């Protein structure tokens, strides 16, 4: 493999089954992930984690903190700062309750997997240190799904800071994958006074790395990544500060990116619209080229 593109061994067989009509796609689960940035002398660095090799989905790949939407987070209105739920619904292309749940998922997953929380006691503030035993107990309850994020915010009297998030892009897992996600990618800046921690049970390593360096390591085959991760890293390269990236987010196109598979001269061609670098030609009975 010339680069570090994640490509499961069972994909060729599943792609052929899909193109032949013998595979029924599963419905993708809604999810959210966050590209957390901090400024350095050499430009913004992004927080990434390496998924444990034992993970069924994308094991060993570098990714951002993220995970599935919890339906409980649209049950009631949480205290909210920033753009309205109606604004977020329009931006994300969903109805208002779903928009709240997606934004909650982004903020919750970053807290669960990196210990960073975009919430504060007032609409203008953000919590400081979140490393105490009481915070850790709540984080563990969130991970175990014993506590919904909406309940967590209410119990602590916190306001969710949606103004500290920017919706960046949206990717949907290919139809031939057994585990599918409809994922909104967000961008955020590390709040002053907080720091990331390697607390994810799904990761065995975390790093702060400049997007240009991460993308170069992927190109050399040194870092394994999924196409959405590489694509978003390349998109972050032009920005000199985290604030610049956040300011650019409202203008980003959120049209979903969904991989397509087709038969061509007996081979399967796998492509992601708008991202030609990820195209794969899979000869019948062979490995991807």
What are the pLDDT digits (tens) for 216-274? Answer: 999 999 999 999 999 999 999 999 999 999 999 999 999 999 988 877 877 778 889 99
Is residue 20 domain-resident? no
Residue pLDDT, tens place only, 53-71: 655 565 688 999 999 999 8
- The reported pTM is 0.91
CATH of the domain at 200: 3.90.79.10
DSSP 75-132: SSPPPEESS-HHHHHHHHTS-HHHHHHHHHHHHHHHHHHH----EESSTT-------S
Beta bridge partners of 38: 45
Do the beta carbons of residue 40 and residue 119 sit within 8 Å?
no
> Please, what is the average pLDDT of the chain?
89
How many Cα neighbours within 13 Å face the side chain of 89? Answer: 10
In a domain, 78, yes or no: yes
The predicted-structure confidence for 159-198, as pLDDT tens digits, reads as follows 999 999 999 999 998 888 888 999 999 999 999 989 998 7
In-domain check, residue 288: no
Residue 222 phi, psi dihedral angles, 5° rounding? -85, -30
Q: Domain for residue 269, yes or no? A: no
Give the domain extent around 105. Answer: 25-250
Query: So what's the pLDDT on residue 1?
Result: 43
- For 84, 115, 166, 218, the CA distances from 52, given in Å and listed in that order, are 37, 18, 28, 18
Number of domains in the chain: 1
Residue 15 lies in a domain: no
Nearest Cα to 99, choosing from 170, 176, 12, 188? 170
């Amino acid at each position: 493999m010339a680069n570090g593109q994640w490509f499961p061994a069972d994909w060729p067989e599943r792609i052929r089954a899909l193109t032949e009509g013998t595979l029924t796609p599963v419905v993708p689960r809604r999810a959210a992930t966050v590209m957390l940035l901090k400024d350095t002398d050499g430009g913004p660095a992004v927080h990434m984690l390496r998924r444990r090799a034992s993970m069924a989905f994308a094991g060993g790949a570098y990714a951002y903190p993220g995970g599935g939407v919890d339906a409980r987070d649209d049950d009631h209105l949480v205290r909210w700062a920033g753009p309205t739920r109606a604004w977020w619904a329009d931006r994300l292309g969903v109805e208002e309750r779903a928009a709240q749940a997606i934004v909650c998922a982004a903020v919750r997953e970053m807290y669960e997997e990196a210990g960073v929380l975009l919430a504060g006691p007032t609409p203008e503030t953000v919590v400081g240190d979140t490393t105490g035993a009481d915070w850790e107990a709540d984080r563990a309850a969130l991970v175990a799904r014993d506590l919904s994020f909406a309940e967590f915010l209410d119990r602590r009297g916190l306001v969710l800071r949606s103004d500290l998030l920017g919706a960046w892009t949206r990717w949907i897992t290919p139809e031939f994958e057994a585990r599918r996600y409809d994922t909104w990618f967000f961008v955020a800046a590390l709040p002053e006074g907080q720091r990331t921690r390697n607390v994810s049970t799904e990761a065995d390593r975390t790093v702060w790395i400049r997007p240009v360096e991460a993308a170069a390591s992927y190109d050399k085959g040194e870092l394994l990544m999924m196409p959405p991760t590489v694509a978003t890293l390349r998109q972050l390269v032009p920005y000199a500060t985290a604030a610049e990236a956040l300011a650019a987010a409202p203008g980003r196109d959120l049209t979903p990116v969904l991989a397509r598979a087709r038969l061509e001269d007996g081979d399967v061609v796998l492509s992601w619209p708008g991202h030609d670098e990820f195209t794969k030609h899979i000869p019948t009975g062979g490995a991807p080229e």
